[in-house]
Structure 1
Amino acid sequence: MITGAVDLPLDLADLSFTASDGAVVRRSVLPSGVRVLSEQVPAARSATLGFWVAVGSRDEVAPAFGSTHFLEHLLFKGTTTRSALDIAVAFDEVGGEHNAMTAKEYTCYYAKVRDRDVPMAIDVLADMFTSSTIDADAFETERGVILEELAMADDDPADVAGEKFFQAVFGDHPLGRPIGGDAAAIRAATRDAVWGHYRANYRPQDLVVTVAGAVDHDLLVAAVSRALERAGWDLGVAAPPVPRRAPGRVSFGAPTGVELIERPLEQTNLLIGVPGLAAADPRRSALTVLNAVLGGGMSSRLFQEVRERHGLAYSVYSFAPSYSDAGVLGLYAGCSPANAPRVASLLLQEFDRLADSGITADELRRVRGQLAGASALALEDSDTRMSRLGRSELTLGEYTDLDEGLRRLDAVTRDDVRELARELRARPLSATAVGAVDDSVFAALDDARPAA
């Protein structure tokens, strides 16, 4: 059984260990560069599978902005041997689930099925991944679907505020671009550009397969190999896996500061934040504690101050996503336009108070219990375990089980949190508001924004 994090070097062909909860984790790097990871969970009767590439919206170049999201849609539209209906029926007739997700640094095609249907899921996902035809007619049809998806998101003020917030924090850096592209990019996209994106990034050395639940690793590797070869991939050609992204802190474009989007809405959606930490930063555990105390639950400071004490918002929280070389700490609230300036001031005051005074011993104790319980409950789901394998392989280069994650949380001190809060608070502030707003909404930031 492991007693700490397990490194995942790209030049190690085989790796096997038992995690703290008895799950057996195995990893094989095939000569072709394909990586296969499994987590066999005792007594599981289903499994979640993911086919990953470390290519996301940040990797796109003009004129192919939006290609990653476009391609995610198109891989469900038919292959050389299956129609779009065939793909849908394959999962529906066994009660399975299948979908995909595009992120800023990766794309994943996934399915969840009973143990007996894992071979079928492998066959279908492998076929989609390797042999999509990207038919011209389907391309045009899906262009319309994606434009409707973007229009739906544009009707959601929280989505709009979120996209504008990332643009405000990251400036003109690729991480600031919307994951799904925008309407102009989707209208301008060409089949040739998306096809080129597909052929350049969906190769054996790019593919990571992760499966969690009821899975036998040796059978999994054999099934993946057969499915890929049957689809036309030559796995006999030796190639190393693509290197992981270089860690470190990214140099952002100039933050845009405050961005106001005026709309005749009943609520104003507010976001205030700063650049955060990269995924592999050793202070990530301290940030997890900081985020939980600040806005991670009903006992958090933001919830108690803005909602419980003042009754100014229904939804209020903080969030702290991370990427290979960057991150964000954001504070969100939705409130009536008349209360927006006051709510924005309260969000900033709680951030300031955390940076000035840190957290209490009781808050640290309570948050440790909150995070430990939430982590354990999340791992009851094979989806979470499958995703953990993918992120470990693609981004972190190490696997941490529940016990190691809790050990790192237990090692966080109040001084760690206060020191990190002070550092983050000194970074350039960015803010967005969507609704019936004017320049007064972020008046509290005028005298509080550090120099960029």
Structure 2
Amino acid sequence: MQNKVSESRKKRCLSDNLFSQRMDGVRSVCIGIAIKAGSSYEPARKPGIAHFTEHMVFKGTKSRTAYELKEPIEKSGGTINAFTGKESTIYFARVPDYLARDAINILKSLCFEAEFPESQFHMEKQVVLEEIHSTEDDPVEQAYEGFFQEVWRECPYGKPILGNEKSINGLTREDLFDFYDSKYVCENMVFSLAGNYNPHLIDSLEGFRHGRKNRKEPEIIYSPRSALIIKEKEDLQQIHLLMGIEAPSRTDGDYEALQVLNTVLSGGMSSRLFHEIREKKGLVYAIDTGLVAYPLGGVFYLYSATTGEKIIPLLDELKRQLASLVEIGITEAELAYGKERLKGKLLLSTESTYATMMRNLDTGIAFGQPLSVDEMEKRIDGITAEGIRNALQKYFTSSWVVSMVIPAKSSEMIKKTELHMNGGFFL
């Protein structure tokens, strides 16, 4: 699906790597810097280095101590934080408008002046190891991680973002300096600014405008060897079920169709799966679907959790619902619900400087320049029931990969399921 660049969008795109949007009626500014330094860009034998680097940059820079990086922003009621994904590491600050220039200077210091103090290095390793251990204790995290590692086992996207105990213990300060020096460069960065700022604030980023490096995206290879992954865990009451299939990339014409479908299935208490499986049958407390999309591919997933005695009726109902979708599609009422809910949430997000900053980052990185809200609405309006049926035929008819984390006491019950006997979930 192609879109011409509108005049309003051109005004917001100040250069290849700087997106800016002034917002009336607000007194805050949100600044974000997205760096092509996510886990998919790590050296093969150093999983977790991107996330550990993100932790360590907050420990002090050439011009500021760790306290001086945080205190000026937090004292004003603002927020400064960062997160690492598979594609990017994103640093951001949301502050009262009068503090915007200081926030930019702090973010620049984080992204260009980190020192990785030796006195903090080994202690922060322990913090990251505790973070890894906390995810190992979380059955939901383990179900998701088991799925991603299986379906993307032959490409960088399958690596856990946090790394593992062995890889983190093996990292040196020199490793971090090498990663930081090679990845934290202007050509790998995209800046996004949203809120009530003085136009002269852009001058603060003048030296960092740059054409983005035309680098090859990490390849996504969807290649599961097993359609069923089961992990037993003590002290659980529920079976945690994560099942998914291959899905389109962020810029593929089917992306919006599956976004609407995702909303129809689990967007709110009025959604199909919530209504049919939780409200009518009481089989679950939590049920959710999601679409994860990157430049060269993605996955669509469904998560639910239930107790052992309900797992067979849950699997039967999921199969019935998904088979019906493939055979019949969605109703016109569901199509209207999915589209209106998506557009409504989009419009509500325009009141947030953080949401606006992130939306411009997301669409700007994906399409070269940010999409306006009007353009995003038009893309959603263009989705038809036939388009969704075509996407369902294209993707949902594949074998679903299932990742389960189960209580040890439910092992015998799982063996009785059609899922276990068939070695996977097939419609």
Question: Which TM-score applies when normalising by structure 2?
Answer: 0.92
Matches within 5 A, 1:4-403: 5=3, 7=5, 17-18=7-8, 25-29=12-16, 35-217=17-199, 219-225=200-206, 240-243=211-214, 245=216, 250-264=220-234, 265-403=236-374
2:243 and 2:303 in contact (8 A); partners too: yes
Query: Would you say 1:443 and 2:425 are equivalent positions?
Result: no
When residues 157 and 107 of structure 1 are mapped into structure 2, their CA distance, relative to the original with a 3 A threshold, is same
Per-residue CA deviation, residues 100-148 of structure 1 (Å, 9 max, x unaligned), is 0101100111000011100000111101110100122211111011111
SS at 1:405 equivalent: helix
Post-superposition, which runs of at least 4 consecutive aligned residues in structure 1 deviate over 6 A? none
Identity %: 29
CA distance in 2: counterparts of 1:442 and 1:115, whole angstroms:
58
Deviation of 1:183 (Å)? 2.2
1:18 is displaced (CA, Å) by 2.8
Taking the aligned partners of 1:255 and 1:282, their CA distance within structure 2 comes to: 28
Contact 1:277 1:284 in 2 (8 A): yes
- The whole-number CA distance in structure 1 between the counterparts of 2:35 and 2:326 is 38
Count of residues in Structure 1 that have an aligned counterpart in Structure 2: 420
CA deviation after TM superposition for structure 1 residue 69, in Å: 0.2
Cα distance between partner residues in 1 of 2:201 and 2:237: 52
Structure-2 residue corresponding to 1:232 = none
Partner SS state of residue 100, structure 1: strand
Please tell me the residue identity of whatever aligns with 1:221.
Answer: I
Report the AA paired with residue 104 of structure 1: K
* Letter in structure 1 aligned against 2:40: R
Alpha-carbon deviations, 1:398-430, whole Å to 9, x = none?
A: 422222222121211111111111111232321
User: Partner of 2:25: helix, strand, or coil?
Assistant: coil
Q: Secondary structure at the match of 2:293?
A: coil
Instruction: Tell me by how many angstroms 1:449 deviates.
Output: 4.9
Query: 1:443 is aligned with what amino acid?
Result: E
1:330 and 1:197 mapped to 2: Cα distance? 32
CA distance in 2, matches of 1:401, 1:441: 51
SS in 2 for 1:314: coil
| 1:174 Cα deviation after fit | 1.4
1:184-218 Cα shifts (integer Å, max 9, x gaps): 2212222221211111011122222111111244x
Measure the CA separation in 1 of the matches of 2:48 and 2:130: 14
Alignment deviations for residues 65-116 of structure 1 (CA, whole Å, 9 cap, x no partner) = 1110001101110001211111121212221100001011001110000111
**Which residue type is aligned with residue 343 of structure 1?**
L
Q: Distance in 1 between matches of 2:35 and 2:26?
A: 27
Higher helix share: 2
Residue deviations 1:143-190, cap 9 Å, x none?
011111111222221111111111222223211211121222212222
Cα shift at 1:447: 7.9
Shift, 1:444, TM fit? 3.5
